[in-house]
Structure 1
Amino acid sequence: MNSEAFGTHLGKIKTSEPSIAAINSANEFVEQETLFVKPKVQGPPPSWAAWCERNSKPVKRVRPRESRKLTPWQKNGPMTIRDWKHFGAWAAFRAGPKNPQLQRPAKPFCAANYLPCALKKSQLDEDELRERMLMLAKPRKITEKYNTPDLPPAYSPAISWGKPPHRDPGRPFKPPYVPACFPTDELEADFWAQLRFPVRQAALFAKITLRIQSLAKPRVYSPTPHCLINKKVLHPLDVQPPPRKKFTKRGWRLHQIRLLYLSKPVSRNETIYF
């Protein structure tokens, strides 16, 4: 058995083998000598333990409560009518905006008497000053007065041929007043049902001429075609070939005949589909 002996202060032998042997069949333990550890004697605590205990606790700072000093307008109880009157008189005199007097700008510093800043300003007479003001007020470039062009009214039809249009100063009529919105549809329908347009007396006795009747009708415009339609539609065999070198005149005609044949519907016997 490999063992290493070490000397101890108790004069006993320490081995590297376990202190408890294997269990025998007869359930007996083979006791061996073990090392006896002497308990340590606790000495006094270190010097830094008291410092850690003292500084690890939160610092308690004492904040003395300041006594509140009331102003002359602050009181413990509610203000009386006399106090309010006194406060109103004070606010009317003290709480208004200040009107400070504008101070004149300071005179600029001039280093010497011969500099331009030391020269005295020339004093002009009243007549010279007025002439100077009129000369400065005169514009440098005088333009002609702008005359607005005489635009024709919105409605000026030519009733009779060969004569200038009749300008009616009363047209276009001022439209009636219409509210911006109606609370209900019934009020809107009632408003338009009771609305009456003013009619002049001259219009009641007027006679309708053919010219006025034609002007009253809406102008009809022909519909704009999507593509230009030729007046004379040519036969497919008469269409000229496009300006390119792919087809000859004979090849273009054969191509048109082939397209006409392919564009016709296919006719087959019914037995082909069964």
Structure 2
Amino acid sequence: MSFNDEGEVSDKRGFEEEEKPEPSWVAWCERNSHPIKRHLHREERCVTRWQKPGPMKKKEWKHFFQWALRNAMPKEPPIVEVPIPCAPKYLPCARETRKMEMEALVEKMEKLSKPLERKSTPKYHSEKPFYPYSPIIVWGKPAHHDKGRPFPPPFIPCFFSNNELEDDFWASFRFKVRPAALKARPSPRILSLSKPHVKPPNPPHCPIPKKTPEPLEVPPPKRKKFTPRGWKLHQIRLIYLSKPVSRPEFEYFYM
């Protein structure tokens, strides 16, 4: 800002800014910032004679009623009859309707109206198969039913003409082995059962001394005074009373 000789303020910067041309976007903003005015062309409404303002005359009402009866009702489509083709005689549609007499029809209706008879069948008895070979292999489990045993016996001739033929027969005879037996693995229980049962000699080779029972295992005498439990309690009391009396307090103070 600078002052003239007359004391007026001269603003050179303001003149310079006014002389600058406006940018191009200012004109674009002024042109596009206003709302768009759309001029819609409205067609003139052609009013029918039923939409005329004011009441209709009696003649016009009659004409409208006749028009409504003719044009306002729904149209029914025309029924077109489709001709049925001639069906062959073996089809059910070509068969003639069965004609029954009235008495037969009544009997059939009565028969169908009654409930069906209850079917009575004899009581079913289940037969459990019998397996002659049923070993108990594992204790506490059911027996193992072997269906393949006993095996059918081999064929043996009734008699032999001489001893040589009999010896040759038994020398060449072989028993059949089941395929399952070749793959089987014996359990420890089966192995223990296969061994002979060893029993001690009876009578023993030397006399066995009698076992001396303990005090509480002595059987009660044959009398009715004590029960087995009472006799055991009596033995416990005798053992307690047979022990020496211990008086630790007396020994501590007076001995």
TM-score with structure 2 length normalisation?
0.28
Who wins on radius of gyration, i.e. which is larger?
Answer: 2
TM-score with structure 1 length normalisation?
0.26
